[in-house]
Amino acid sequence: MSQIPQVSVSFEVNTDRNDPEAIVQQRVLELPVPTPDQVPDGQVLVAISHSSINYKDALAAVAHPGVARKLPLVPGIDAAGTVVASKSTRWAIGTPVMISDESFGTTQDGGWRQLAWVPHDWLLPLPPGMTPAQACGLGTAGITAAWSIQALIEHRSLNREYPLLVTGASGGVGSLAIEILAKRLGQRVTAVTSKILQESRLLGLGAENVLLRADFEDNTTRSLLSMRWAGGIDTVGGTGLNTLVRSTADAGCVAACGMAGGTDLILSVYPFILRGVILYGIDCTRYSQPEKTVMWQRLASDWLPSQVLQETQTIGLDQVPDRVFALIENRHSGRCVVELPTI
Ligand SMILES: NC(=O)c1ccc[n+]([C@@H]2O[C@H](COP(=O)([O-])OP(=O)(O)OC[C@H]3O[C@@H](n4cnc5c(N)ncnc54)[C@H](OP(=O)(O)O)[C@@H]3O)[C@@H](O)[C@H]2O)c1
């Protein structure tokens, strides 16, 4: 193995996973980078120029056992850059690519490093006209918002009498979903957030109305609530998802993708058998590479959420720990790209 001095961020993890004060300390690693003769055929070496921070990365960074499947781990489920060595006929040196696989940043080291050998079927081409920074500005959040919207389209929940609802609106998936639905697809969208100071930003992204989470969530045990929504996208889970399902109108679809607000869901069958509501689970990793490629091309063109991209913050590896805690403590909004130093 050659010891290319590769900057990365890993975290010294306290053995007590429940003690947030003692969890992380950034350190710079010199990760070994195998030479081409040391890796099997089919591997491709990517010089990563950009990654990002998703909620899942923040959980990985604090060693959440459901996400960080090995320790130490270099987090970063998104990565984009250029092929610099290839043992695959499918990817030539110099090709701009994204890395997309569910093990990246969870069971295998992820994108908060400069160089990664990955199997060739983990790669996607960068959509035409899209830079690595933009690809990571959208990242897993963008593709999750897109698959959630696709579910609403397939279940005929657009252009209905009622508006759509998006929860966790200030976050990555929520903000991107609002802009695409409102500005690219012309839908009426109500945003639910815990952050009153985000109201004007969310209206600017195209939401017609912003509700505070405390005002939206219904803690009663009523099986059904008045119909208010054509359906929506829930990025939070818990009481917000429960309330959305109970207040969705006839035959509306709710795409559920997140769980920062809770994993339990207690519902009666009434929304499903009296209103025909569809609860559709989103797992962005279960799509094939050709399906992902098509969806990325849509995100880069008709569905391009240019406003969220413009607002996206770019940080260096040294700022990653602060941002991790901002996500864990819900003190952030929008998207954040991590720019790797050029190797
Ligand atoms: N299923 C999939 O394939 C998939 C893929 C990507 C992401 N996800 C999930 O989708 C969710 C959003 O991801 P993201 O990267 O967009 O995260 P994010 O940027 O951190 O956004 C999450 C948003 O949820 C709300 N929130 C955060 N902590 C909360 C808490 N404790 N209780 C209630 N609400 C809370 C906040 O919105 P407000 O303050 O505005 O309410 C926050 O901005 C995460 O749960 C993530 O794991 C799933």
| pLDDT tens string 13-64 | 444 445 444 345 455 566 778 899 999 999 999 999 999 999 999 998 888 8
Q: What is the pLDDT of residue 27?
A: 56
**Is residue 107 situated within a structural domain?**
yes
- Cα(95) to ligand 1 centroid in Å equals 32
Q: Check if 194 has its Cβ closer than 6 Å to any atom of ligand 1.
A: yes
**Is residue 185 situated within a structural domain?**
yes
Residue 226 has pLDDT above 60, yes or no: yes
Q: What is the pLDDT of residue 26?
A: 53
Q: Model confidence at 137, in pLDDT bands (50, 70, 90)?
A: very high
Ligand 1 atom nearest 176 alpha carbon: 16
Backbone angles phi, psi at 60, to 5 degrees: -60, -40
Q: What is the pLDDT of residue 29?
A: 63
Does residue 116 sit in the same domain as residue 168? no
Q: Check if 91 has its Cβ closer than 6 Å to any atom of ligand 1.
A: no
Q: Which domain holds residue 178?
A: 140-284
Across the range 1-17, mean pLDDT stands at: 46
Pocket test for ligand 1, best of 57, 144, 336 (most atoms within 8 A of CB): 144
The letter for the amino acid at 44 is V
Task: Give the tens place of pLDDT for each residue, 170-195.
Answer: 999 999 999 999 999 999 999 999 99
Q: What is the pLDDT of residue 321?
A: 83
Q: Check if 329 has its Cβ closer than 6 Å to any atom of ligand 1.
A: no
Tell the residue nearest (CA) to atom 30 of ligand 1. Answer: 261
Does residue 145 sit in the same domain as residue 276? yes
- Cα(94) to ligand 1 centroid in Å equals 35
Q: What is the pLDDT of residue 72?
A: 78
**Is residue 293 situated within a structural domain?**
no
- Cα(171) to ligand 1 centroid in Å equals 6
CA-CA distance, 259 to 241, in Å (whole number)? 9
For the packed helices 289-299 and 132-154, what is the interaxial angle rounded to 10 degrees? 100
Between 1 and 108, the higher pLDDT residue = 108
User: What CATH number corresponds to the domain at position 38?
Assistant: 3.90.180.10
Q: Check if 235 has its Cβ closer than 6 Å to any atom of ligand 1.
A: yes
Does residue 144 sit in the same domain as residue 279? yes
User: What CATH number corresponds to the domain at position 231?
Assistant: 3.40.50.720
Between 160 and 28, the higher pLDDT residue = 160
Task: Give the tens place of pLDDT for each residue, 268-320.
Answer: 999 999 999 999 999 999 999 999 999 999 999 999 999 999 999 999 988 88
Residue 260 has pLDDT above 50, yes or no: yes
Q: What is the pLDDT of residue 115?
A: 92
Across the range 231-258, mean pLDDT stands at: 98
b/e per residue 151-174 (b: at least 16 CB within 10 A): bbeebebbebebbbbbbbbbbbbb
Strands lying side by side in the sheet with 278-281: 209-212, 189-193, 164-166, 229-234, 248-256, 278-281
Q: Check if 105 has its Cβ closer than 6 Å to any atom of ligand 1.
A: no
Does residue 106 sit in the same domain as residue 178? no
Domain count across the chain: 2
Does residue 95 sit in the same domain as residue 180? no
Pocket test for ligand 1, best of 257, 279, 336 (most atoms within 8 A of CB): 257
Does residue 154 sit in the same domain as residue 265? yes
The H or E element spanning position 199 is helix 199-204
Q: Check if 323 has its Cβ closer than 6 Å to any atom of ligand 1.
A: no
Tell the residue nearest (CA) to atom 10 of ligand 1. Answer: 258
What percent of the chain is modeled with pLDDT above 70? 91
- Cα(176) to ligand 1 centroid in Å equals 12
**Is residue 302 situated within a structural domain?**
no
What global pTM score does this model have?
A: 0.94
Residue 253 has pLDDT above 90, yes or no: yes
**Residue-by-residue DSSP string for 14-75:** -S-TT-GGGS--EEE----B--GGGS-TTEEEEEEEEEE--HHHHHHHTT-TTT--SSS---
Choice among 72-81, 170-179, 203-212, 297-306 with the minimum mean pLDDT: 72-81
